[in-house]
Amino acid sequence: GQFNPGTINNYQWYHFAIVHDATGNTVKVYVDGNLQSTISNVTGAIGSSSGNNTIGIRNDGYYPFHGYLKDLRYVKGSQVYTTNFTPPTEPLTAIPGTSLLACNLPYMADASGNHVLQNMNDTKLRPFSPYNKEPWSATARGMSLQFHGSNSRIQYSDTTVNPGTSDCTWEGWFYPYD
């Protein structure tokens, strides 16, 4: 199948999970805990083997994101979700296999401790979160990252987030506008 995220509106938080099942040769896309798309016949290595990785825009500079990202987590070697689920109601934490946990601290860093993140083209930390049921605080809620397009991105140089041929899960929250 093809990637189909369903209906995505601007100015609304969505939880996403992209899950690679290496044995089943599929990639499943969940939005707000509901399976939206299954891509079949995914074989071979996924991801590049060298160079910089980016958050907020594709590595080649195409498809910039305009909006906020919160709690971006990459778990290598595990399918965190295999069926529909209830999206998290608290900030994501590092679980076994976490290789990247970004867009969640009150400063620019990878909470997994594996990567040095470099702010490129004025990406902003903002006190904005899908977990806004109580007053915001840096220690309890952290920050989200605002990407304004125009090549706004976070960059890091490391190949450990490339899944290759293993199971993996990318997940987090996004809030598009534009």
> Is 74 in contact with 99 (CB distance < 8 Å)?
yes
CA angle, corner 87, sides to 116 and 171, nearest 5?
30
Distance CA 3, CA 38 (A): 7
| Interval 130-171: pLDDT, tens | 876 656 565 555 677 777 767 777 776 665 566 667 898 999
pLDDT of residue 29: 93
Regarding pTM above 0.85, the answer is: no
> Is 98 in contact with 75 (CB distance < 8 Å)?
yes
Backbone phi, psi, residue 94, to 5°: -75, 120
pLDDT of residue 90: 87
Distance CA 68, CA 168 (A): 23
